[in-house]
Structure 1
Amino acid sequence: MARARLLRPLARRGGWQPRAVLLVALVWVLLWDRLSLGNVVNGLILGVVITRLFPLPAIGYRGRLHPLPLLALVGRFLLYLVRSSVEVAWVVLRPGPLPPSSVIEVPLRTGSELYLTLVATVVGLEPGSTVIEARRTAGVLFVHVLGAGDDDARERAREKVLSVERSVVRAVGNEQEIAACAGGHDDRGAMTTGGTR
């Protein structure tokens, strides 16, 4: 029931959106590559215009920031980043054909678009894995995983995505969401693709 409530089409936010305005202004200043009063003012004006013409959808968020689990998530991501980089470098540099890869379907246990986005971002930033599709209404990620050619490797890759989801929810979720994330998951199929050099 709670999941269905979260997956309803989101209403558009109206009115003042200060965080979005500041974000647009920041991007504007970064694009100009120079911090000046004119760039900041123009970025703020542009942010107001954009957020009035194209208001962002409201995001249902009832969690809170948990500093220690957030640090653990950052540390875990850095560990994954180093380990995945070494694994991808070995796959690319070693002689012979590339190992088969797979596209796996991972149904997430939370129904929040925020968590779906955060999990997809963390997973997509790791070398060797690419999120190729995210289905908001179903809460499902499709991830291309390098070197996941058999069932065991696909299951390990799926569990890794779900563990990222657990870490994200522990870092920024509420107690009910953390409990929902601690449960099991249903297995889905995976499509295997061959690799050739």
Structure 2
Amino acid sequence: MSADPMTPGQPVEPQDPPLTRRARRRNLATAVVFLVAVWVLLWGTFTWANVISGLVVVAVLLTVFPLPPVTFAGRIHPWGLLRFTGRFLVDLVVASAQIAGLALRFGHTPRGAIIAVPLRIASDLNLTLTAEALSLVPGSLILEADRSTGTLYIHVLGVHTLDDVERFRRSVLALEERIIAAIGSPDEQRRMAAATRTGPPPADLEGAPT
């Protein structure tokens, strides 16, 4: 016989309150700004033509594929945002140089791996932002994002050993930590600090180089 979900003493999962009209408008504006920024970054040049075309593409995407009501419960932390931006730009330059080096090594076949990285903060927004930031860095490609477990499956170039796999996993977790430090809520930052103290989970052997 199944347990009664209303049995006293049994924890009941809290339900998220419905979004207000103001919250929906704020989330929509945030999504538009972020997606246009991604569009401009993908083109690699900031021009008004790229901005306007990005607005058109985003408007079509949000009309045809409306986003789920993801609530932004945090706030902008200027120092954390500056730290995230600076490190992201450094990673972008370093990764571009590494990929260029691989391309210039004639006769060498680059090895890669598919690495599963379970994130420590299970939220749709954190999963999305971490996946987007990884996708913008050359050499890594998001193959799948498992929303139920908060796990990203990433194809990575230039991986030769299990030490390389573990090093990349730690870099993804460090990226997640910087994102939470930049825009996370106080509760998310407390949980991140606790998870950082306990250390990352054991490595998944699915990340073995191929």
TM-score by length of 1: 0.73
State the number of aligned residues.
Answer: 174
Deviation, 1:149, is: 2.1
SS at match of 1:185: coil
Gaps of 5+ in 2: 1-11, 41-48
1:57 to 65, 68, 90: 68
2:25 to 9, 18, 31: 18
Deviation, 1:88, is: 0.7
Please give the alpha-carbon distance, in whole angstroms, between the structure 1 residues aligned to 2:137 and 2:191: 25
- Do the aligned residues in 2 keep the contact of 1:62 with 1:174 (CA within 8 Å)? yes
Please give the alpha-carbon distance, in whole angstroms, between the structure 1 residues aligned to 2:138 and 2:120: 24
Please give the alpha-carbon distance, in whole angstroms, between the structure 1 residues aligned to 2:207 and 2:113: 5
Moved more, 165-174 or 178-187: 178-187
SS at match of 1:186: coil
Deviation, 1:186, is: 1.1
Paired AA for residue 101 in structure 1: G
Deviation, 1:94, is: 1.3
Please give the alpha-carbon distance, in whole angstroms, between the structure 2 residues aligned to 1:55 and 1:99: 38
User: Which residue in the other structure is 2:201 paired with?
Assistant: 186
Q: Deviations over 1:146-180 (max 9, x none)?
A: 11121100000000100000000000012221232
Deviation, 1:97, is: 2.1
Deviation, 1:12, is: 8.3
SS at match of 2:155: strand
- Do the aligned residues in 2 keep the contact of 1:99 with 1:146 (CA within 8 Å)? yes
Deviation, 1:117, is: 0.5
Gaps of 5+ in 1: 37-42
Please give the alpha-carbon distance, in whole angstroms, between the structure 2 residues aligned to 1:172 and 1:35: 24
Moved more, 131-140 or 174-183: 174-183
SS at match of 2:148: coil
TM-score by length of 2: 0.69
2:119 to 108, 111, 115: 108
Identity %, equivalent residues:
36
- Within a 5 Å distance, the mapping from 1:1-197 to structure 2 comes to 17-19=24-26, 20=28, 23=32, 50=63, 56-182=67-193, 183=195, 184-187=199-202, 188-192=204-208, 194=210
User: Structure 1 residues 85, 54: closer, same or farther in 2, change over 3 A?
Assistant: closer
